[in-house]
Structures are given as structure tokens and as C-alpha cells.
Amino acid sequence: MREKLQNIANRLHGGLLLAFADVLITLLAGGLAMLVRFEFNFNSVPGDILSEWYRFVPVQIIITLVMFVLLRMYGYILQAISSLEISKMFLTCILTSLAVGTAAYLMKVKLSVSIWFMMMAIKIVGCVLVRYSVRIFNSISDAALERKTGFTNRIMLVGAGSAGSLIMREMKANGKKVGRVVCVIDDDPAKVGKEFYGVRVVGGREMIIRAARKYKVDEIFIVIPSASREDRKEIMEICNRTGCRTKTLPAIYQIMNDEISVSSLRDVSIQDLLGREQVELDMSGINGFISGKKVMVTGAGGSIGSELCRQIAKYNPDTIIGLDIYENSLYDIQQELKFTYKEDLDFRAVIASVRDKERIYEVFDKYRPDIVFHAAAHKHVPLMESAPEEAIKNNVFGTYHVVRAAEKYGVKKFIMISTDKAVNPTNIMGATKRFCEMVLQSRKDSETEFACVRFGNVLGSNGSVVPLFKKQIENGGPVTITDKHIIRYFMTIPEACSLVLEAGAMAKNGQVFVLDMGNPVRILDLAEEMIRLSGLRPYVDIEIKEIGLRPGEKLYEELLMSNGNLTQTANRKIFVEEQEQLSKDHIMECLETLDKALQDNSTDEELIALMKKIIPTYRSPEEVNSSVN
């Protein structure tokens, strides 16, 4: 609404200035016509002609203004002028002159035909020229600015709509500190060939690459916040291929009521190129789930745990208990939330390891949480392959300690963060996470409701491929990929955590929730796009090197058990997989067997063999990958 009012005010202001200019042009046209007619000697103009002109000037001005308003002459404020618009303005001026001539005839105004003709010609030229002068002035000021400052950042603007108008006006108002727009792209055929604030609209998205070369573009501004995800993704991919630095406005749902400005522009990220749809959440359901509750987050300093803390804080919890063994990351999220919420949020930072049973029981006894989000885990696949004992101690027994503490101290709901690597696992990390799911599913008779949320890779998480690629690009390459055929599913950390909260709100005992990860992404494509986002060329500026699959890694990841019963929830991005009933006694036997193996200092190979007995779907990566090739 504020933007619309501002646009109306700007148009009204520009229209009034043009109306004032038209009045001056009308007066000037009459004076010049008489001067030309009488050889530039004003004293030789007959008095009766002057009196007739004075008598008719007010009528002429009124008719001109009325006709210009009716014929939309004040819509040509040089936002989009082409040869067609200039022709329309000439026609409007001619029709206005005919209306003025008709009124003069009816009023029996006695002026010669030569004076009428010259008045009309001067008026037409003046009215069109004053509207076109803005472009001339901008071109001159642009050239002068470049000569004076040597600043030649040449910008392509993608989007000649209301957002583009705001960006152009701000750039002109602040002296073009960020550069000069040299061409405009818009998919609307009606705008192509016209001018947008004095800059030509050269075509639609198909012209982006060609125009970037022709106009020697340095930077691209994508200003189409209301466009669909698919359109934004396609346009960003095209811009990314130009090699120009590209910035974009957030989508319209992200901007909300914030004012659009140059400062709103941000670099295009790999998240933009994934083109994922907006997550729609049941805000009331999450609020009822979190508000007024004591919520514990284990692994609170990690990528997922810290984002869970941020999002939980928005729903007015009584207390957030952030538990982590690593004090630095826990301190960071504590300070962030303290700065954001001041005294409005009670955040308790607790240093503890989930492997320490006594310490975990002590923390639960002290804080008595209502809800637990269990995100603490070892998750690095290759590292855990070389340390299966640590994976079992931390992931399996750490989870079991937190589960038992939750039951003992009256936790109402317990949500564990799982992974797609738990589905038909090919590594010890995935196998331990699958066993954790089984632990929770075996406790359907518990007063605490247990559930798991399973999803794939999250962009930007610690140890994920995106930060690794970014660091390799910054170091000049090469960017290393394990296999050119490998694919993964991705979502952003905030998106994953939002869906975890909603799944938690609807969770019932023993359920495994599966998040819709969208379309798979080929890691090779991801590497190429990230290199282009850095303004470099794949295989030319930065090498991409294939190094082979890492220990425990498979070419593809699965999100669903092959024999699972999958049901869509009210949120189309959340599915629930009902599992068969698991015996608590059987799980306890497995835990005792694992514990004995650890006590007996079993070798890595023996521990992996034992896990394969406990998890029937656990197979070697070689066996799985050979079936794909």
C-alpha cells in the first residue's frame, strides 16, 4: 500500500510539473508565432491582434490542459517512450490544436492562419520536447558523471515493473553511486523497444546473454520479486552464464512490508538457483505446540540445532534449554538470541555431552523440559567410517540416554532429527541413525511421544558440500567432486527447521516423518553454478576434479524405506511413514550386545559386522553403487 501511494504521489508530482510546462509553452508559442509573423519586431504587432490573443489565451490554456488529460498526455513522463509513443504525442497535440482552433472559430477570434499554424507547430514541438528532455538530461549527466569520477559500472536491469521503477528512481536520486543502467530486460512484449526511465528495454530473458555482451554489462540487477520461483530460477541461471556479477531482490513474500531499495539487493546464491517453493506452515499449530513450553534442543550449537533455537524463539516459549558439548558455537547462538530478544527470551546454555548419562539426567532433573528436539549427533560419513566406535557411542548410546531421561522426567514430546542416510544405509553413520529411529519406534507404550523427522542435505550446514566448494573456489580451485554422476537432495536450513517444528506439532508416537526434498541436484551441476556465481568460468578459471566416492558414500540417497507406508499430511511437504511395531526387548538386547562389543574393544570391522546384523538393510556402498552403474 505504501508503495502504491508513493507511486501515485510521484505521478501526480510529475504531471503537475508537466502541466505547468505546457502552460508556459502555450504562452511562448503565441508570442513566438507573432514575433515570426511580424519579423521579430514586437512593436509592429497590431494592437487588435494582441488584444484578440490576450482574450483567447485563458481559453486556449484550459482546452489544452483538458485535452491533454483526456488523451493521457501526462502519462508520458518518460518511463517508457518509443517512436510509437512520440507519434501518439504528436497526434494528441494536433487534435488539441484542432480543438483550440474550433473554439477560436466559435469565439470569432481574429488571428491570421499563419499565426495559428506557427503556434500549433511550436506548441507540438515544445510539448513533445519537454517530455523527451529528461532522457537527454540523464544521458548528459551520466556521461559527465563517468568523466568526473571514472566510475563506469554498467548495469543491466531485469524487470521493468514497479520494483524496477523504485530502483531506478533511487539510483537517479542518489547520483548513481552504484553505477549506470545501460539496458533493461522485460518479458512483456508491450515494453520491448520502449524506454524505461530513459533506458531502452532491449528484449525478454532470451536477450540477456546477447545484451550483456553488446552493452558491456558489469553487473545485473534482477528486480522481479513477484515472479514465480520457476521464472526467477530460469532467469538467474541465464544471468549466471553471462559471467556478470548478479544481484536480486528477495521474493515478494520475503520482502513483505519492507521498502524496496538498492540496499535490498543481494548477491544471487545457490539457494536461489535451486528454485524451491515457499514453505507454507501451520503457524497456529506450531504456536500452540511451542508457546509457554520449556523446550530443550540438543546439539544447539550446530547448524540445525541453532536454527531450531532461532525459530522456536519466535513462538514465545517459556524457556529454551540449549545443550551442546562445544562451548564456542553454543555461546554464539546464546549471544545472538540475547541481542535479538533482550529480556523477552529465557535461553539457558548448558554444556554437556549426550554420552554422559549422569550429566544428562542431572540437566533433565533441573530444567524438566516439556519438549525435546534431539539434534546432537556425529554426522560426517567418511570420518565415522574410520571411527565406528565413536559413531555408536555418540549417536546410539547418546540418543538412548536422552530418550531414557525424557521418559523419566516427564517430557511430553521428543523429536529426533534423522537423515536420508538412515534409509538402506551404506555407512556406519546412517546405520546408527537408523538404529536411533528404531529405538524411538520401540517405545510406543511410553507416556512420552517419540517421533523422527528424516530429511536430506541442508545447504550451508557445517561440513556440507556448499561451504566446501565455496572455500575451494576462493582458494583458486580445483573444486573436487566425488563422482560426476552423484546426485543429492537439498533444502535450506530454515526450511528444514520450519518443517521439523510443524512435524513436531502433529507427531504421534512411533512415527517417522519424511520431508519432501524436491528434485534431486547433480553435484557436478552444483559445482558449475557456484563457480559461475563467483564470476568465474568452470573448467577455464576453476578446474573441477573428480576424486572418487568417499568411504561409505553412495551415488544416490533415498528418503523412504522401500516397504514403508507413506501418507501425506496436511502440509504437502511433510509425509509420515508408519513403521512396523518394534519390540522394546529386542532393542534392549541389541543395545546390550553393542555395549558388550564396546567394552570388549571390538575392532572396527567387528562393530560394522555387528551393526549389519542389527540393521538388516545395512549394505556395503560397493554393493549398492554397482547396481546403479
Helix, strand, coil percentages in the chain from 3-state DSSP, rounded to 5? 55, 15, 30
Whether domain 291-460+490-519+549-626 has CATH 3.40.50.2300: the reply is no
Asked if residues 498 and 280 have their Cβ atoms less than 8 Å apart, the reply is: no
Q: Choose between 152 and 447: higher pLDDT.
A: 447
| Res 551: pLDDT | 75
Asked if residues 458 and 490 have their Cβ atoms less than 8 Å apart, the reply is: yes
- Percent of the chain's residues with pLDDT above 70: 81
Provide the pLDDT confidence category of residue 6 given band limits of 50, 70 and 90: very low
Superfamily of domain 151-268: NAD(P)-binding Rossmann-like Domain (3.40.50.720)
| Res 256: pLDDT | 41
Task: Examine domains 151-268 and 291-460+490-519+549-626 and report if their fold is the same.
Answer: yes
| Res 79: pLDDT | 45
Place of cell 575392532: 603
- Average pLDDT value for residue range 388-412: 96
Q: Model-level pTM? A: 0.65
Q: What's the CA gap between 139 and 129, in Å, rounded?
A: 15
Provide the pLDDT confidence category of residue 628 given band limits of 50, 70 and 90: low
Strands 219-222 and 199-203: unpaired
Place of cell 578446474: 543
Q: What's the CA gap between 163 and 169, in Å, rounded?
A: 10
Query: In this structure, which long-range contacts are made by residues 584-590, counting pairs with CB atoms below 8 Å and at least 24 apart in sequence?
Result: 584/442, 584/443, 584/445, 586/442, 587/438, 587/439, 587/442, 590/435, 590/614
Strands 294-298 and 195-196: unpaired
Q: What pLDDT digit, counting tens, does each position of 575-588 carry?
A: 777 766 788 899 99
Quote the mean pLDDT of the chain.
81
Place of cell 540437566: 363
Q: Which helix (H) or strand (E) holds 140?
A: helix 113-149
Q: What pLDDT digit, counting tens, does each position of 534-559 carry?
A: 777 888 888 999 888 777 676 666 55
Residue spans of the domains in the chain: they are: 2-133, 151-268, 291-460+490-519+549-626
For residue 168, give every residue at least 6 positions away whose Cβ sits within 8 Å of its Cβ, in sequence order, or none: 157, 181, 196, 197, 199
Catalytic residue numbers read 421
Is the pLDDT at 506 greater than 90? The verdict is: no
Cell of 187: 518479458
Q: What's the CA gap between 188 and 205, in Å, rounded?
A: 10
Q: Which helix (H) or strand (E) holds 113?
A: helix 113-149
Q: What's the CA gap between 116 and 138, in Å, rounded?
A: 34
DSSP 73: G
